[in-house]
Amino acid sequence: MASDSRVAIYIDFDNVVISRASQVKETGGSATVAIDVLLDFATRYGRLTISRAYADWSVKKNADYQEQLVARAVELVQLFPASKTKNGADIRLAVDAIEDLYLHPDLTHVVIAAGDSDFVPLAQRARRLGRVVLGVGVAGSVSRALASACDVYADYDELLGARADLERHVEETESASASVTSSGTPARRRAFPLIIEALRGLAAQYPDRDWHPLSAVKVQVLRLEPTFAEADYGASGFGDLISRYGGQVEVAENRARLR
């Protein structure tokens, strides 16, 4: 079975969007924030039970992401302009996170998606309360103090690069990951990135295990994509689907591992 770990993620969305835009300003690259990359990182460590994003959602650059966030069951916390001081999001996020830690003692992991050193006390308090603290932020905007206060701190660009590498291995016949259909609703995600991300998640949850039961891999895939069904990819079962990726995934006796 998959881990019973329960994860909460708190996203300082204004910070992430602004940091990403600033980062690519001179390179001419895309400033779009990949929501799935942030949430999939959190899901690696267990069941995602609390997901919140903090921003002024009346601002277009933030509002453009609302549909994607809601599709991944993220709660949108409104920061009203009248009260949006420099530390407005930081204070609200920290207060909510600490409250959740006391109200939900079953939370095992806390993910802070931000780079501001103002979150150091939150990270320290969460660790003191026995939680594993994970951080993720955009390169160039991450406080070294915050990174040091976390048990694990991931670079958003590295996560994004790893996702891009996965996409390059996908069969051309599969639909685009996180693409949008003509009706405006998100299309199904590609199978290969889901399976690899699921195996990476199980490796993070069970670092002492080399092989993982196919049933556990599928549970982790469903955490990433609750509407997942093998039939959507023309497979007769999960074993049939995962066996297509023998170059990257080794399958034997109803178990799997990354090569």
| pTM of the shown model | 0.82
Q: What is the pLDDT, as a whole number, of residue 144?
A: 86
180: confidence class by pLDDT, cuts 50, 70, 90: very low
**Share of residues in the chain with pLDDT > 70 (%):** 85
C-alpha 192: how far from its chain's center?
17
User: 24 with 30: CB under 8 angstroms?
Assistant: yes
With a cut of 50, say whether residue 255 has pLDDT above it. Answer: yes
User: 16 with 54: CB under 8 angstroms?
Assistant: no
Q: What is the pLDDT, as a whole number, of residue 166?
A: 77
CATH of 6-163, one of 3.40.50.1010, 3.40.190.10, 3.40.50.1820, 3.30.750.24: 3.40.50.1010
Cβ-count burial of 120 within 10 angstroms (0-12 exposed, 13-18 middle, 19+ buried)?
A: middle
Domain boundaries, the chain: 6-163, 185-258
Each residue's pLDDT tens digit, 212-248: 999 999 999 999 998 999 998 899 999 999 998 888 8
C-alpha span between 235 and 239 (Å, rounded): 9
C-alpha span between 232 and 255 (Å, rounded): 22
Q: What is the pLDDT, as a whole number, of residue 169?
A: 66
User: Could you tell me the two tokens for 31?
Assistant: 């400033």
User: Could you tell me the two tokens for 176?
Assistant: 């685009």
Distances (CA, A) of 48 to 32, 71, 89, 141, 163: 23, 14, 21, 26, 20
With a cut of 50, say whether residue 184 has pLDDT above it. Answer: no
Each residue's pLDDT tens digit, 86-134: 566 688 999 999 999 999 999 999 999 988 888 999 999 999 999 999 9
Each residue's pLDDT tens digit, 133-168: 999 988 766 788 888 999 999 988 888 888 888 777
Tell me how many helices (H) and strands (E) the chain has: 11, 9
C-alpha span between 125 and 180 (Å, rounded): 40
C-alpha span between 170 and 149 (Å, rounded): 37
175: confidence class by pLDDT, cuts 50, 70, 90: very low
Contacts of residue 216, Cβ cutoff 8 Å, sequence gap at least 6: 1, 2, 202
Mean predicted lDDT score pLDDT of the chain: 85
Q: What is the pLDDT, as a whole number, of residue 254?
A: 92
Each residue's pLDDT tens digit, 23-34: 777 666 678 889
Q: Say which amino acid occupies 42.
A: A
CATH number of 185-258: 3.30.420
Phi, psi angle pair for 176, to nearest 5°: -65, 135
DSSP letter at 188?
P
R_g over Cα of the chain: 19
The dihedral built from the CA positions of residue 82, 87, 93 and 95, taken in this order, carries a sign that is: negative
End-to-end CA distance of the chain: 21
Q: What is the pLDDT, as a whole number, of residue 176?
A: 42
**pLDDT, greater one: 146 or 7:** 7
**Share of residues in the chain with pLDDT > 90 (%):** 56
